[in-house]
């Protein structure tokens, strides 16, 4: 099968391309090589054997040409991270939502009806919480006054007592809490509308915190794993925001690539006009402080520094229930946290 991978020169995209090539597929990559991720302007991460086309997913003519002979699309192209400030909002909406709309329109014209969409845990906002007295509840917006005072745990919105965090499922209501999250949710809605309108099939993979070799360094748009690794490469201590107790699910990029391959294999059997979302997580609940400490130890670097700083658009706890992906697509994570962080600590970062 010939597959178009948008964003296939990026961190996750290039891993997906490698996985698909290893599975015997023909792969065409379309990537804009955005400077925030590719400062060299070169597609250096694209695996040998893939066809590369340098174009923006918002370029309708280039996208339509890239769809020639393609059976399915794996849409990884996106501007990622929380951004620096609200001035980034037009760029996020343009790259993520306009780009997705252009791609879907071209797929409709060219008769390509199979799509794997790179989604994100950020659509949930905060994860799942339970109050001992009031059961499952959704915490309210984080308040700067609480965070300034070091009160990082969200209280029950009814009684104010501490909440117990749990695993979030795909059926949880969406609650995007920053611009990036809003654009990722919009991508899902656009894909769903496309599927209904033209009889397409969509599987959305909601990635949790992806890490591993090939992450870009020294960019404010990178994930926390890349920021910690970049600091250690400079001989600096990782700076951990809040108190380091934020719960996350860190999933290795190789496991994410395998999830994409499993989703592509499952697409032909899905009903026309259907969509389905899957969490992609390791199943291991860790804290941000755990990650910083593991990387510092593996790099033999300085111990992390807990700063108490925060970003209002961050969430406190969000961890994955990936049972649906395991049960329906037969996927299993293969890389344990200890193995993955040791590998990541030793691997060069993309410059």
Active site residues: 180
- Tell me if residue 5 falls in helix, strand or coil: strand
Contact predicate 299/237, CB 8 Å: no
Q: Cα separation of 41 and 342, whole Å?
A: 29
Cβ within 8 Å of residue 247, ≥6 positions away: 127, 165, 285, 286, 287, 316, 317, 318, 319
**Cα 307 off chain centre by:** 25
The first and second tokens of residue 164, run together, are 């117990």
Buried b (16+ CB within 10 A) or exposed e, 200-225: bbbbbbbbbbbbbbbbbbebebbbbb
Rg (CA), the chain: 20
Determine how β-strand 114-120 pairs with β-strand 72-75: parallel
Contact predicate 180/82, CB 8 Å: yes
Q: Cα separation of 182 and 174, whole Å?
A: 9
The DSSP call for residue 307 is: -
Q: Where are the alpha helices (DSSP H) in the chain?
A: 11-22, 60-66, 89-92, 99-110, 144-148, 179-198, 224-233, 253-266, 288-298, 323-329, 337-346
Cβ within 8 Å of residue 327, ≥6 positions away: none
């Amino acid at each position: 099968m010939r597959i178009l991978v948008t964003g296939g020169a990026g961190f996750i995209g290039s891993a997906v391309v490698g996985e698909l090539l290893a599975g015997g597929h023909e792969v065409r990559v379309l990537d804009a090589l955005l400077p925030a991720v590719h400062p060299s302007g070169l597609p250096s991460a694209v695996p040998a054997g893939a066809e590369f086309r340098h174009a923006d997913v918002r370029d309708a003519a280039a996208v339509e040409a890239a769809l020639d002979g393609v059976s399915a699309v794996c849409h990884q192209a996106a501007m990622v991270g929380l951004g620096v400030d609200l001035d980034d909002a037009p760029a996020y909406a343009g790259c993520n939502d306009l780009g997705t709309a252009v791609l879907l329109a071209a797929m409709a014209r060219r008769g390509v009806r199979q799509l794997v969409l790179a989604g994100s845990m950020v659509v949930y906002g905060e994860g799942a919480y339970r109050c001992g007295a009031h059961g499952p509840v959704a915490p309210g917006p984080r308040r700067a006054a609480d965070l300034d005072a070091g009160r990082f745990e969200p209280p029950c919105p009814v009684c104010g007592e501490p909440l117990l965090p749990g695993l979030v499922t795909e059926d949880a209501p969406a609650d995007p809490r920053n611009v990036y999250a809003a654009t990722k949710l919009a991508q899902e809605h656009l894909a769903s509308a496309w599927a209904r309108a033209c009889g397409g099939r969509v599987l959305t993979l909601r990635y949790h915190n992806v890490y591993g070799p090939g992450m870009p360094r020294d960019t404010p748009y990178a994930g926390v794993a890349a920021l910690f690794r970049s600091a250690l490469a400079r001989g600096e201590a990782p700076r951990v925001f809040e108190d380091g107790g934020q719960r996350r699910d860190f999933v290795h990029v190789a496991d994410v690539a395998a999830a994409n391959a499993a989703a592509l294999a499952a697409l032909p059997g899905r009903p026309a006009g259907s969509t389905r979302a899957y969490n992609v997580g390791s199943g291991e609940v860790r804290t941000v402080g755990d990650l910083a400490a593991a990387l510092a130890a593996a790099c033999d670097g300085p111990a992390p520094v807990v700063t108490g700083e925060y970003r209002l658009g961050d969430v406190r706890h969000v961890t994955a229930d990936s049972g649906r992906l395991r049960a329906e697509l037969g996927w299993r994570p293969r890389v344990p946290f200890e193995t993955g962080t040791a590998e990541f600590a030793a691997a060069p970062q993309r410059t």
